[in-house]
Amino acid sequence: MSDLPENQPFPKGVRYGSRSILTEPASANPEVWYTDPILLEVLRKQTPAQRLAIVNEMWLSARQMFYNLERANHPDGSEDDVNRQVARRLSSVTD
């Protein structure tokens, strides 16, 4: 059962079982996202170290995805070049 008001449609997004977790922006402001109340409660009960561990795993996962993408796009690129491109993407630095 959703904790959203009746007049607010359940937004599209990443699904965990039958519930959306992170979704499209809930308003015209792209910085405002709806987050599942159950997920928020779980996160609130975690220690700062546990939350930091989650962020670290997310960062490592993002880095691996960018690495795989760069390696697929540049199979002959040197390891240094691929890692430099990955670092650039992760730091949001554009040329």
Looking at the DSSP bridge assignments, the partners of residue 19 are 16
Could you identify the residue written with the tokens 């691929």?
82
- Own/partner long-range contacts of 61-65 (Cβ < 8 Å, ≥24 apart): 62/90, 63/90
pLDDT value of position 76: 95
Q: Per-block average pLDDT, block size 10, for the chain (95 residues)?
A: 45 48 54 72 90 92 94 95 92 62
3-state secondary structure of 12: coil
Alpha helices in 1-95 (DSSP H): 37-45, 48-73, 79-90
pLDDT value of position 40: 83
